Amino acid sequence: MLIVIINGVSATGKTTLARHVSDKFGYRVLSKDDIKDKLVKDSHRKPNLRNWRYFDKQSLRQLSTLLKEAVKNNESIIIESNFHKHEQAFLKELAANPEKVELKELDCVSTGKVIRKRFVERSKQDQRAKVHQDWFWYPLTFVVTSSSLLLKHWNPPFAFVRKRLVVDTTNPSSIDYQQIADFISS
């Protein structure tokens, strides 16, 4: 079975890419943000900054549980999020069993200027659930995306994944979807 990890900083087109890959291969998408949004809907907790960490941890736990079920059922799957280094451990045990589970990563990258523009635009269009607290992340996003060194280390690629394709999403119309399909199929 195959797990396609779609990783990258906020506003690099991970969700759009996940949908495209899902349409092409018929794989289910597990998105940490979708799980988090459902948790907020089903919770008595308010989606504020104080509860943000709670929702983030719970969504990662649920993602891990759903992923283990997919592995148990031998279901190839896509997982999508901006996985920070401390959030990558739950996949490490799966990487230790390469004869059963193959991990491939699509690492979404873009320029800081484009990321900042997308981040602001999607917030203006109210495309994000309130749990994300984008108003709080604006300063950090602007600082990180202004430095190529910080940008490179904000959501690093998974160190234990052997097969990785960097996908430049700066200009969505120039994304080579055939290259991505070939990478996943290989």
Full-model pTM: 0.88
CA 53 to chain centre: 17
Greatest mean pLDDT range, 60-69, 112-121, 129-138: 60-69
How far apart CA 80 and CA 19 sit, in angstroms, is 10
Q: Counting beta carbons within 10 angstroms of the beta carbon of residue 182, is it exposed (0 to 12), middle (13 to 18) or buried (19 or more)?
A: exposed
Mean pLDDT along residues 124-147: 65
Domains and CATH numbers, the chain: 2-185 (3.40.50.300)
Mean pLDDT along residues 6-30: 94
How far apart CA 111 and CA 182 sit, in angstroms, is 25
Mean pLDDT along residues 97-105: 87
Q: What is the pLDDT of residues 34-87, one digit of tens each?
A: 998 899 888 888 777 778 788 888 999 999 999 999 999 999 999 998 887 778
Residue 151 pLDDT greater than 80, yes or no: no
Residue 131 pLDDT greater than 90, yes or no: no
